[in-house]
Every structure is written in structure tokens, then in C-alpha cells.
């Protein structure tokens, strides 16, 4: 903060002098003394007098009022309106984005000075006219900057996390997105204010700005130019005032931006927070009742080459207090399935078919956005893969957890702080009072993921979707996070969908597993049974191809299955695994079977499951 003192002090000094002009012991700025025109600096007139004998220092200080009013007024109006338009357009897209950006394009069609001259000519010169004209001139800069910033930010995990927690659009725009684009906006404001000071001077110099005899720095430059040969110092004072003001503005905003960036700001003093209160009771569960029943979920994305379906006919159920793992290679559709259930599909994707009935009453795939928002956080929650990108870098961890609480509850600040600390303690973060004050970059990867989990459970959800939450962690931390999730699930009675590509992780945490491939569930059943006796060649190949112990098996990565996952634009007409299946038969090329119950609690799309189960040796690789 000390770096702000110098430029901040300069600006305050200029502002204070301008505001205090009426009470300062100065000669009146309009009082003429022709007998002493163009007098050099003296005790009576510290900076001399102008061509009408008016005190130069008095006019300089009074002139600051006009120059700063124009700069401050136009910058503030342009920043407020332009940033609002950019944020709303960037976040909502569609018509708001079209209107905001096209309107700015119209403004940009006019050369800036010409537009200012046009407005001043139409309305007449004056300070208010200048503020209006310059505000319009500066609007596109703020709008486009905010729009671009929002486009970069709106799909980041920490914005998605806020949506998952049920935060409304306005709250996300104000509390999550705006702080992240505030740095560039502040820099733009500094440049704009400096430009406004210069433009005011230029327009006043041309006779299109402040109306004489009201003093302004631009008018002083204009007057001084006419007597430059006789009194060159008269040109120096307003130019010096302009230069110092612009320099101070740029320095102030540059350092303000650094100070507001928590990754470059010095560590803040930690304050003691209120003592923790115990957590509220766990969310009510329905015992063994089905918490979620997904039936035929299909997601479609329109592409120039026709629609593709990254998720097709996916069906599964999940009981309260149960963990279902969805396992598959990259591109198998497991993450898209999770996003579809929460209504968080990207704009180009849509659910074309299916149902996902939550708690026996609510079809999540048919819910309006407002209803889904109410469910997110309080009923449905998500833990993302990378906590560094899922946590907002400019907010303290405790504040982000508080946001998750306040999205669904009205509590006073003390109660919220207590609950934040209790949640951090609940997920095993040491020194939770101090950690609540930390920024994400001040925490380790494991601690960040614990904080994400604390956010996810903050409003007592019943269904938690964990999308590869341990992929970014090392093996030791992964084990700790898995143990934490399992413990939370038991104590809170959560139903959990655990998305992963790791079979060892599945074995460790899940009750049942759904194996996905090319957008379809190929096999589903209890983990122990599937690991002991897979009924689909793909599951069998996955298990057979696990890297041998000590060769990376901890990561749970399959060593590889011959062939590639088929393109969604060119899926085989029959079984989607047929091109890679060593057991394929002619019928498989055309046979497309639904997920059938082939044994009690066991589902498979392959009709030859019993033969596969009978094979003791690994399935040989498919021949190309
Ligand atoms: S249906 Fe045929 S091609 Fe598909 S997995 Fe079964 S045996 Fe292999």
C-alpha cells in the first residue's frame, strides 16, 4: 500500500487545492489589473499575471476544478455504463451482446475528435457538454474491454462453481466476474482520465470546451500561446499542471491494479475470526430410496457436419448414501453427463432426449434455469478437477465459502464466519481461522481441493458430482482426498457420482460403476462384481490393460487398448466398440443393443457377456 502513497498524495493534493479554491487566500481568478498585465512572478503574484493582469496561480487552481470535473465526470460515467454493458453482454451473450457491441461499433465509426466537435457544435460548449461528449467517446473502450474480459472469464471453473452453488446471474456478474476484470478496467480508467484531461485542454484550446472567462487549463494554454513571446512562463504553468496530473493518474491506477491483484500484493495481516459454531445437521436422506434416476440421457451438439451426440442413451440410478463411479477414457462423455445433470452444458450442446429424476419428483433435464439455480448448492453440488481454476483467484477462500452459504441462507456475518471455519475444519484444513483469510494461491493443491469440497457441501447438498477431483493431485494427497470424500459421504448421507478415468480410484471409493465408451454406458454394476467378472469386452480389456504394479498403476491409467475411440461424427452402425473388439462377430457390425440386465444388478450392451466371463486368459488385442 505504501506504493500508493506518492501518486495518491499527488492526486489528493491537486483535488484538495481545486476544492479549496474558494476559501484559499487567492485573488479572484477573474479580477483584472491591466496595469500589471504579463507581470513576472513576484511576492504578490507567485506565478505572475496573464494578459489581463489576472493572477496566474489563482487561475491555475480554479482551472483545475474545470479540468478535473471533466476528466473525472466523463471517466466515471463511461466506466460505469461501458463496463456494465460489457459485463452484461459478455455474460448473457445473445441479444444483449449484439446490442452492446453493435452500439459501440456505431460510436467507433466516427473519428473521436470529430464526434466531440459534432456534439459540442450541436449542444453548445460548456463543462456539462464536454462531460457528455467525452463519456460517449470513451464508452466503447470500457465496453469492449469488459466484454473481452468476461468472455475469458465466464467459462472458467470458478464461475461454473458459483453457478453450481446456485448463485444468481447478477451475483455472479458482480461478485465473481467483475473483481476479476477490475484490474484492466482500472488501467483503462487511468488512461481515460489522462486522455480526458488532454482532450478538455485541446477542445478548450480550440474554443469548443470550457467557456471563457471560466478558467481551465486548456483556456490558459490558449491565452498563453498568444503572448508566448512576451511571457513564456505563462505557457509553462498550465502545461506543468497537465503533465503532473496525467503522470499522477497513471501511477495511481497502475499501482492500484497491482495492489488489487492478490497474487502480487503483499501478504495481508491476518485477523482473528469469531469462534466456530458446530455445523448444521446433515441433509436429510431417504435411506435406501433412489436419489437420482437417469433414463436415456442423450446430449446433442450441432456442428457444420451435422449433429454429434457425445452422450447417448445413458441410464443409471443412484441411491442416497451411495457412490456411483463413471469411468471411461477421455472423450467418453462422462464429464458431459455430469454437466448435463446440473444444467451446465456449454451453449452449443443441448439435451435432446432422456430424463433425470431427482428425489423422485424433479426431472433435472426439464427444469427451468431458475429452478435449477435453486437446486444447485442446496441439493446438487459439484467438485471440479482443478481447484486452482475452480477457486476465484481474487477472493479469499473464506469469502468464497461464505458466498456459497449466503447463496441459500440469510445469516449474519458472525454466523457465516463461524460456519466457514467449521466447514474448513470439517474438511481437515489445519488452522481454519487463518486459512479462511488465505487466497487460493497461498494454499497447497490438496488444501485447495479440500476448500473446494467445503464450498460444495456448504449448503448441505444431497447429491455431489465429483469430476475427476483427484487428477491434479499426487498419490498421497489423492488418497487423503478420497478418504475425506468417503467420510463426508457417510456422515452427510450424500449420493455421489464420481467421474474418473482411474480404475484403482473406482475400486477404492465406489459402490457401483458405469463404464462409458464413445458416449454410451457399456457396462454397469457393483464394483466388486465387475472387477471380478466383467461382462463386456471393453471392461475386460480395461482391466486387463492396467499398467503393471510399479509402472504407473498408481495413476490408474490403462496401458492402452488397440485402436482408437471412434469419431462421434463417424460412429460404427452397430456396436460402438466393434472396431476394437477382439471378439466381434459379423452381427456386431449391425447389432446395436440397449443396456440389458444380463444378471441381477448387472447391465451390459454386449450379448456375449457370459462367454467373456468364462474366459480366464486376457482378451487378445483386436486385429486391425
Ligand atoms: S457386441 Fe460384439 S463387438 Fe460389441 S463388445 Fe460385444 S462382442 Fe464385441
Q: Give the tens place of pLDDT for each residue, 471-503.
A: 877 888 888 889 889 888 888 888 999 999 889
Q: Are 216 and 72 in the same domain?
A: yes
Alpha helices in 365-495 (DSSP H): 369-375, 387-390, 397-406, 413-426, 432-435, 445-456, 475-492
Which pLDDT score is estimated for 172?
Answer: 83
Residue 385 exposed, middle or buried by CB count within 10 Å (0-12, 13-18, 19+): buried
State if residue 517 touches ligand 1 by the CB under 6 angstroms criterion. Answer: no
Q: For a ligand 1 pocket test, name from 538, 585, 609 the mutation site with the most ligand atoms within 8 angstroms of its C-beta.
A: 585
| Distance (Å, whole) CA 70 – CA 183 | 23
Q: Does residue 552 fall inside a structural domain?
A: yes
Pairing of strands 512-517, 308-319: unpaired
State if residue 578 touches ligand 1 by the CB under 6 angstroms criterion. Answer: yes
DSSP letters spanning 372-395: HHHHBTTTEEEE-S-HHHHS-TTS
State if residue 577 touches ligand 1 by the CB under 6 angstroms criterion. Answer: yes
Q: For a ligand 1 pocket test, name from 573, 578, 614 the mutation site with the most ligand atoms within 8 angstroms of its C-beta.
A: 578
Which residues, 6 or more positions from 411, have their beta carbon under 8 angstroms from its beta carbon? Answer: 405, 419
Q: Are 238 and 301 in the same domain?
A: no
State if residue 537 touches ligand 1 by the CB under 6 angstroms criterion. Answer: yes
Q: Are 518 and 427 in the same domain?
A: no
Which pLDDT score is estimated for 615?
Answer: 65
State if residue 518 touches ligand 1 by the CB under 6 angstroms criterion. Answer: no
State if residue 612 touches ligand 1 by the CB under 6 angstroms criterion. Answer: no
With 80 as the cut, is the pLDDT of residue 40 above it?
A: yes
508-550 pLDDT, tens digit per residue, is 999 999 999 999 999 999 999 999 889 999 998 888 876 554 4
d(CA 124, ligand 1 centre) in Å = 81
State if residue 608 touches ligand 1 by the CB under 6 angstroms criterion. Answer: yes
Long-range contacts of 399-402 (CB under 8 A, 24+ apart): 400/158, 400/451, 400/455, 401/436, 401/451, 401/454, 401/455, 401/458
Q: Does residue 275 fall inside a structural domain?
A: no
With 50 as the cut, is the pLDDT of residue 268 above it?
A: no
With 50 as the cut, is the pLDDT of residue 439 above it?
A: yes
Query: Which residue segment(s) compose the domain that 449 sits in?
Result: 393-456
Which residues, 6 or more positions from 555, have their beta carbon under 8 angstroms from its beta carbon? Answer: 475, 502, 547
423-438 pLDDT, tens digit per residue, is 999 898 999 999 999 9
Indicate the range of 59-63, 92-96, 255-259, 535-539 predicted with least confidence.
255-259
Average pLDDT over residues 593-616: 81
| Distance (Å, whole) CA 353 – CA 600 | 27
Q: Are 450 and 466 in the same domain?
A: no
State if residue 606 touches ligand 1 by the CB under 6 angstroms criterion. Answer: yes
Q: Are 537 and 607 in the same domain?
A: yes
279-305 pLDDT, tens digit per residue, is 333 333 344 478 999 999 999 988 777
For residue 296, CA distances in Å to 316, 357, 455 come to 9, 12, 31
| Distance (Å, whole) CA 133 – CA 146 | 21
State if residue 217 touches ligand 1 by the CB under 6 angstroms criterion. Answer: no
Is the Cβ–Cβ distance between 347 and 301 less than 8 Å?
Answer: no
Q: Provide the total of helices (H) and of strands (E) in the chain, helices listed first.
A: 22, 12
d(CA 584, ligand 1 centre) in Å = 5
Which of 260, 281, 305 terminates a domain? The answer is 260
> Percent of the chain scored above 70 by pLDDT?
89
Average pLDDT over residues 117-127: 81
Q: Does residue 384 fall inside a structural domain?
A: no
| Distance (Å, whole) CA 542 – CA 329 | 10
Average pLDDT over the chain, rounded to an integer: 83
d(CA 621, ligand 1 centre) in Å = 13
**Angle ∠(468,473,478) on CA atoms, nearest 5:** 80
State if residue 581 touches ligand 1 by the CB under 6 angstroms criterion. Answer: yes
State if residue 178 touches ligand 1 by the CB under 6 angstroms criterion. Answer: no
d(CA 613, ligand 1 centre) in Å = 13
State if residue 598 touches ligand 1 by the CB under 6 angstroms criterion. Answer: no
Higher-scoring residue by pLDDT: 55, 261: 55
Which of 432, 456, 480 terminates a domain? The answer is 456
Q: Are 470 and 609 in the same domain?
A: yes
Higher-scoring residue by pLDDT: 294, 231: 294
Q: Are 184 and 127 in the same domain?
A: yes
Pairing of strands 323-327, 495-500: parallel
Going by C-alpha positions, the residue among 142, 172, 147 that lies closest to residue 160 is 172
Q: What is the CATH number of the domain that holds 581?
A: 3.40.50.300
d(CA 574, ligand 1 centre) in Å = 9
Which of 456, 471, 487 terminates a domain? The answer is 456
Report the nearest-CA residue for atom 6 of ligand 1: 606
Q: What is the CATH number of the domain that holds 74?
A: 1.10.3720.10
Which pLDDT score is estimated for 98?
Answer: 85
Strands of 290-301's sheet in order across: 308-319, 290-301, 349-358, 362-363
- The ligand 1 atom at the shortest distance from the C-alpha of residue 578 is 3
The count of domains in the chain is 3
Q: Which three cell numbers stand for residue 383?
A: 467438485
Q: Are 517 and 597 in the same domain?
A: yes
Which pLDDT score is estimated for 260?
Answer: 61
Average pLDDT over residues 65-86: 91
Q: Are 153 and 39 in the same domain?
A: yes
d(CA 543, ligand 1 centre) in Å = 16
Which pLDDT score is estimated for 126?
Answer: 83
With 80 as the cut, is the pLDDT of residue 356 above it?
A: yes
Going by C-alpha positions, the residue among 519, 529, 513, 521 that lies closest to residue 594 is 521
Q: Which three cell numbers stand for residue 36?
A: 500589471
Is the Cβ–Cβ distance between 401 and 454 less than 8 Å?
Answer: yes
> Percent of the chain scored above 90 by pLDDT?
23
Q: What's 173's DSSP letter?
A: I
Within 10 angstroms of residue 155's Cβ, the number of other Cβ atoms is 11
Average pLDDT over residues 89-101: 86
Q: Does residue 284 fall inside a structural domain?
A: no
Q: Does residue 77 fall inside a structural domain?
A: yes
| Distance (Å, whole) CA 513 – CA 539 | 11
Report the nearest-CA residue for atom 7 of ligand 1: 584
Q: Does residue 308 fall inside a structural domain?
A: yes
d(CA 581, ligand 1 centre) in Å = 6
With 50 as the cut, is the pLDDT of residue 417 above it?
A: yes
d(CA 606, ligand 1 centre) in Å = 5
d(CA 7, ligand 1 centre) in Å = 72
Is the Cβ–Cβ distance between 59 and 50 less than 8 Å?
Answer: yes
Q: Which three cell numbers stand for residue 298?
A: 442423450
Exposure string over 139-151, b if 16+ CB within 10 A, otherwise e: bbbbbbbbbebbe
Q: What is the pTM of this model?
A: 0.65
State if residue 522 touches ligand 1 by the CB under 6 angstroms criterion. Answer: no
Q: Where are the beta strands (DSSP E) in 158-236?
A: none
Pairing of strands 349-358, 290-301: antiparallel
With 50 as the cut, is the pLDDT of residue 165 above it?
A: yes
Q: Are 403 and 530 in the same domain?
A: no
Residue with cell 475425506: 484
Helix (H, G, I), strand (E, B) or coil at 510: coil
Integer-rounded Cα radius of gyration of the chain:
33
Within 10 angstroms of residue 220's Cβ, the number of other Cβ atoms is 27
Q: Which three cell numbers stand for residue 423?
A: 466447514
Q: Does residue 470 fall inside a structural domain?
A: yes
Q: Are 347 and 236 in the same domain?
A: no
Q: Are 65 and 86 in the same domain?
A: yes
Q: What's 279's DSSP letter?
A: P
- Angle between helix axes 56-92 and 127-153 (nearest 10 degrees) is 40
Q: Does residue 138 fall inside a structural domain?
A: yes
With 90 as the cut, is the pLDDT of residue 76 above it?
A: yes
State if residue 603 touches ligand 1 by the CB under 6 angstroms criterion. Answer: no
Which pLDDT score is estimated for 515?
Answer: 96
167-225 pLDDT, tens digit per residue, is 778 888 888 788 878 877 887 888 888 888 888 888 888 877 788 888 888 888 888 88
301-324 pLDDT, tens digit per residue, is 887 777 889 999 999 999 988 999
With 50 as the cut, is the pLDDT of residue 106 above it?
A: yes
What size, in residues, is the chain? 624
Which pLDDT score is estimated for 186?
Answer: 83
d(CA 349, ligand 1 centre) in Å = 29
Amino acid at each position: 500500500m505504501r506504493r500508493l502513497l506518492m501518486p495518491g498524495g499527488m492526486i489528493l493534493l491537486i483535488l484538495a487545492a481545486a476544492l479549496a479554491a474558494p476559501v484559499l487566500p487567492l485573488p479572484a481568478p477573474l479580477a483584472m489589473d491591466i496595469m500589471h498585465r504579463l507581470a513576472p512572478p513576484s511576492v504578490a503574484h507567485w506565478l505572475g499575471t496573464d494578459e489581463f493582469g489576472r493572477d496566474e496561480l489563482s487561475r491555475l487552481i480554479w482551472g483545475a476544478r474545470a479540468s478535473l470535473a471533466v476528466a473525472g465526470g466523463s471517466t466515471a460515467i463511461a466506466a460505469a455504463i461501458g463496463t456494465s454493458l460489457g459485463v452484461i453482454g459478455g455474460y448473457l451473450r445473445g441479444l444483449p451482446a449484439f446490442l452492446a457491441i453493435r452500439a459501440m461499433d456505431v460510436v467507433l465509426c466516427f473519428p473521436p475528435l470529430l464526434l466531440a466537435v459534432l456534439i459540442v457544435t450541436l449542444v453548445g460548449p460548456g463543462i456539462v457538454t464536454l462531460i457528455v461528449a467525452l463519456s460517449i467517446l470513451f464508452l466503447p473502450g470500457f465496453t469492449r474491454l469488459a466484454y473481452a474480459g468476461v468472455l475469458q472469464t465466464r467459462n472458467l471453473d470458478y464461475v461454473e462453481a458459483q453457478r453450481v452453488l446456485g448463485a444468481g446471474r447478477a451475483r455472479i456478474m458482480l461478485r465473481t466476474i467483475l473483481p476479476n476484470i477490475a484490474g484492466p478496467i482500472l488501467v483503462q480508467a487511468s488512461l481515460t482520465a489522462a486522455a480526458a484531461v488532454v482532450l478538455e485542454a485541446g477542445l478548450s484550446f480550440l474554443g469548443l470546451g470550457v467557456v471563457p472567462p471560466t478558467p481551465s487549463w486548456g483556456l490558459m494554454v490558449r491565452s498563453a500561446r498568444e503572448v508566448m513571446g512576451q511571457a513564456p512562463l505563462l505557457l509553462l504553468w498550465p502545461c506543468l499542471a497537465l503533465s503532473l496530473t496525467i503522470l499522477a493518474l497513471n501511477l495511481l491506477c497502475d499501482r492500484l491494479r497491482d495492489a488489487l491483484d492478490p497474487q502480487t500484493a503483499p501478504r495481508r495481516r491476518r485477523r482473528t475470526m469469531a469462534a466456530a459454531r458446530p455445523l448444521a445437521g446433515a441433509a436429510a436422506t431417504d435411506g435406501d430410496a433412489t436419489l437420482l434416476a437417469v433414463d436415456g440421457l442423450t446430449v446433442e451438439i450441432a456442428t457444420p457436419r451435422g449433429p454429434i451426440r457425445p452422450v447417448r442413451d445413458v441410464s443409471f440410478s443412484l441411491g442416497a448414501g451411495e457412490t456411483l463411479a463413471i469411468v471411461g477414457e477421455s472423450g467418453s462423455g462422462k464429464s458431459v453427463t455430469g454437466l448435463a445433470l446440473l444444467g451446465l452444458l456449454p451453449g452449443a450442446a443441448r439435451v435432446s432426449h432422456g430424463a433425470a429424476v431427482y428425489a423422485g419428483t424433479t426431472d433435472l433435464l426439464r427444469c427451468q434455469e431458475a429452478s435449477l439455480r435453486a437446486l444447485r448448492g442446496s441439493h446438487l453440488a459439484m467438485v471440479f478437477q482443478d481447484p486452482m481454476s475452480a477457486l476465484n483467484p481474487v477472493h479469499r477462500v473464506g469469502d468464497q465459502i461464505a458466498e456459497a452459504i449466503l447463496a441459500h441462507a440469510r445469516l449474519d456475518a458472525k454466523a457465516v464466519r463461524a460456519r466457514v471455519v467449521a466447514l474448513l475444519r470439517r474438511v481437515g484444513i489445519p488452522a481454519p481461522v487463518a486459512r479462511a483469510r488465505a487466497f487460493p494461491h497461498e494454499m497447497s493443491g490438496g488444501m485447495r481441493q479440500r476448500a473446494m469440497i467445503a464450498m460444495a457441501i456448504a449448503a448441505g447438498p444431497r447429491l455431489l458430482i465429483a469430476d475427476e477431483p483427484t487428477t491434479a493431485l499426487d498419490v498421497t494427497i489423492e488418497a487423503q482426498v478420497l478418504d475425506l470424500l468417503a467420510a463426508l459421504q457417510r456422515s452427510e448421507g450424500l449420493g455421489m457420482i464420481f467421474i474418473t478415468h482411474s480404475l484403482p480410484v473406482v475400486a477404492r471409493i465406489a459402490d457401483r460403476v458405469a463404464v462409458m465408451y464413445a458416449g454410451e454406458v457399456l457396462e454397469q454394476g457393483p464394483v466388486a462384481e465387475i472387477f471380478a467378472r466383467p461382462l463386456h469386452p471393453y471392461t475386460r480389456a480395461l482391466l486387463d490393460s492396467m499398467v503393471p504394479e510399479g509402472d504407473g498403476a498408481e495413476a490408474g491409467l490403462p496401458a492402452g487398448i488397440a485402436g482408437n475411440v471412434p469419431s462421434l461424427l463417424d460412429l460404427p452402425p452397430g456396436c460402438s466398440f466393434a472396431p476394437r473388439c477382439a471378439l466381434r462377430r459379423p452381427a456386431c457390425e449391425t447389432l446395436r443393443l440397449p443396456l440389458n440386465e444380463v444378471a441381477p444388478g448387472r447391465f451390459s450392451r454386449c450379448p456375449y457377456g457370459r462367454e467373456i466371463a468364462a474366459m480366464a486368459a486376457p482378451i487378445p488385442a483386436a486385429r486391425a
